[in-house]
Amino acid sequence: MTTPPTPQQPQAQPQQPQAPHAPAPAPQPQGAYAGAVAAPQGPPAMVPAPPPAPAAPAPPSAWQQAMNNAYTSPIPVTKTNIGHALASEWTKIKSVRSTVWTLSIFLILVIGIGLLAVANTQSDDYQDVPFTVPAFFGLMLGQICLITLGVLVTSSEYGTGMIRTTFTASPQRYRVLAAKALIFFVVAFVASAGSILLVGLMASGAHSGPEAGDIPWAGSVFKGALYVSLLGVLALAVGSMLRHSAGAITTMLGVVLVPAILPGFLNIWESTAKLGDKMADYNAINSLAKIFRIDGIDSSSTGNSQLVLLVVITAAAVAGAFALLEKRDV
């Protein structure tokens, strides 16, 4: 603790309204007062003597003395950094059940549906598509789990009031959000890349016959995992901006589903047909399909432009979340 400059005298009393019956003698209270009067006699060393004049604050010397006697903790002071925030957020994400549940469902969907697809395909089905295609079907549903988890990582703190405790402990708010996004991204990426890889290995093991084209599939593991993880980070940013779990999850479902549904309507009118085509090309489900080369390895669409679009949108949303974070009251 630093010794403060000469403390400022607290503002003079803003008018002490007198009790209606003016004279207030007898400073010897009784009954209900006993405790109150006893209290100031507590620790003589620390307590500035009761001020002599009514309403006058203790003289500065007494303050100084009190400051010098003030409590100092034996716990060493550490300068905190992003590492502390990451450790804290890692504890947070693994210590609630919703994380375990959403990730388990994600793995069950991707691996389970993937294995079903592997079991129902033949080697010649992989003639011009990569072995990771079975994971695509599970991933279409599984991405909703990652979206939910991403939203919950931020919005659940607002919903429960935990955010006030969090920001009291770490007033560097941007650091908290950065740590959340980073931890979530790593968790989501490891889970999705791992499950896609597993499905790909199963498929390549089961259908390695001569009919299968030797299509490289490492890129689809990486890009597929990146795509759904970024979708989750987008959800995390939306959760941080909306601060409401149900609202943020609904918004994200809209982001995923509306561009997949709307082209059907937009193509009715010539003026909107072009927009409809773009939506059909760039919606989340089609983007994943392109990343997994569903149309065949010879198709020109590699899913890269879709991935870039998602990177841009996610970056914008994260920037928005950071901008709002410092300004708003919690």
Partner 1 sequence: MIELAGLTKRYGEKVAVNNLTFAVRPGMVTGFLGPNGAGKSTTMRMMLGLDNPTAGDVRIDGKHYAQLKDPLKYIGALLDAKAMHGGRSAFNHLLCLAQSNGIPRTRVHEVLDTVGLTAVARKKAKGFSLGMGQRLGIAGALLGDPEILMFDEPVNGLDPEGIHWIRNLMKSLAQQGRTVFVSSHLMSEMALTAEHLVVIGQGRLLADLSMPDFIRQNSRSYVRLRSPQRERLLDVLHQAGVTAVEAGGGALEVDGATSEQLGELAARHQLVLHELSPQQASLEEAFMQLTAESVEYHAHADHQGPAPDGAPPSGQAPGRAPGQAWGAGRQQPRKGK
What separation in angstroms does the CA of 18 have from each of 26, 191, 199?
15, 69, 81
Which residues inside 164-203 make contact with partner 1, applying CB under 8 A?
164-172, 176
CB of 107 to partner 1, least distance (A): 20
Give yes or no for a contact between 232 and 311, defined as CB atoms under 8 angstroms apart.
no
The answer to whether 330 contacts partner 1 (rule: CB under 8 A) is yes
| 51 vs 296 by CB, closer to partner 1 | 51
| 98 vs 123 by CB, closer to partner 1 | 98
The Cα 134–Cα 138 span in angstroms is: 7
The contact mask relative to partner 1 for 290-329 (x = CB under 8 A, - = no) is -------------------------------------x-x
DSSP string, 129-141: S-TTHHHHHHHHH
**Residues recorded for the chain:** 330
| 23 vs 210 by CB, closer to partner 1 | 23
CB of 105 to partner 1, least distance (A): 17
Helix axes 304-327, 173-206, angle to 10 degrees: 160
DSSP string, 278-298: HHHHHSHHHHHHHHTTTT-TT
Which residues inside 78-137 make contact with partner 1, applying CB under 8 A?
78-80, 84-85, 87-89, 91-92, 95-98
The answer to whether 15 contacts partner 1 (rule: CB under 8 A) is yes
What separation in angstroms does the CA of 112 have from each of 132, 187, 220?
13, 20, 19
The answer to whether 23 contacts partner 1 (rule: CB under 8 A) is yes
What are the structure tokens assigned to 240, written together?
């941080």
Which residues inside 225-264 make contact with partner 1, applying CB under 8 A?
none
| 16 vs 300 by CB, closer to partner 1 | 16
Output b/e per residue, 101-132; b: 16+ Cβ within 10 A: ebbebbbebbbebbbebbeebeeebbeebbbb
CA-wise closest residue to 185 among 314, 17, 8, 42? 314
CB of 52 to partner 1, least distance (A): 10
Give yes or no for a contact between 220 and 196, defined as CB atoms under 8 angstroms apart.
yes
Which residues inside 57-76 make contact with partner 1, applying CB under 8 A?
57-58, 63, 66-67, 69-75
State which of residues 6, 30, 120, 300 lies at the interface with partner 1 (CB under 8 A): 30
The answer to whether 25 contacts partner 1 (rule: CB under 8 A) is yes
State which of residues 47, 275, 280, 315 lies at the interface with partner 1 (CB under 8 A): 47
Helix (H, G, I), strand (E, B) or coil at 186: helix
CB of 28 to partner 1, least distance (A): 9
The answer to whether 6 contacts partner 1 (rule: CB under 8 A) is no
| 30 vs 271 by CB, closer to partner 1 | 30
Per CB under 8 A, the segment of 7-15, 131-139, 244-252, 291-299 that binds partner 1 is 7-15
| 63 vs 282 by CB, closer to partner 1 | 63
